[in-house]
């Protein structure tokens, strides 16, 4: 391995140690409803996001709260010597994609049937350390 390639690999490894992610697959909530809650917490500090999710009345908030806690646990597994509060973790990225769709039939008048699509979603959450706290 060349010198530049090794330096690049070490730099990428260092950057990856500062982030942690968690995924939630096939969550039985429509992506549109999940994105409403995800947009609220995008870019916030982890403590603020958890308090917002805890007191939100949306069903998706409970699922996202559990996902944020999972991402924090993943970050702590990587950085055992660091503290979550001192690191100033923020939600760098939260992405809600469409998942599988269950197709059902609902009876309609005059012998017809309407198709019901029960949607699900995939959520990817990336936590990172805040740059502002490191500069100070």
Domain definitions of the chain by residue range: 19-135
Beta strands (DSSP E) in 1-136 are: 20-27, 89-107, 113-129
CB 124 within 8 A of CB 23: yes
Average pLDDT, the chain: 92
For residues 48 and 64, what is the distance between their CA atoms, to the nearest angstrom?
13
User: What residues does 118 pair with on adjacent strands?
Assistant: 102
Indicate whether this model's pTM tops 0.75: yes
Q: Give per-residue pLDDT as tens, 14-61.
A: 888 788 999 999 999 999 999 999 999 999 999 999 999 999 999 999
Pair of tokens at residue 31: 């992506």
Q: Which CATH superfamily is domain 19-135 in?
A: Ribosomal protein L22/L17 (3.90.470.10)
């Amino acid at each position: 391995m060349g010198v530049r390639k090794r330096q690049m690999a070490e730099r990428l490894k260092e950057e990856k140690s500062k982030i942690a992610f968690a995924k939630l697959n096939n969550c039985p909530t429509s992506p549109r409803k999940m994105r409403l809650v995800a947009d609220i917490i995008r870019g916030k500090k982890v403590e603020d996001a958890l308090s917002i999710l805890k007191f939100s009345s949306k069903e998706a908030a409970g699922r996202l709260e559990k996902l944020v806690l999972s991402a924090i646990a993943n970050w702590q597994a990587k950085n055992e010597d660091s503290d979550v509060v001192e690191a100033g973790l923020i939600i760098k990225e939260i992405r809600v994609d469409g998942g599988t769709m269950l197709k059902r039939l609902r009876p309609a008048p005059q012998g017809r049937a309407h198709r019901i699509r029960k949607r699900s979603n995939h959520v990817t959450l990336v936590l990172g350390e805040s740059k502002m706290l490191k500069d100070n």
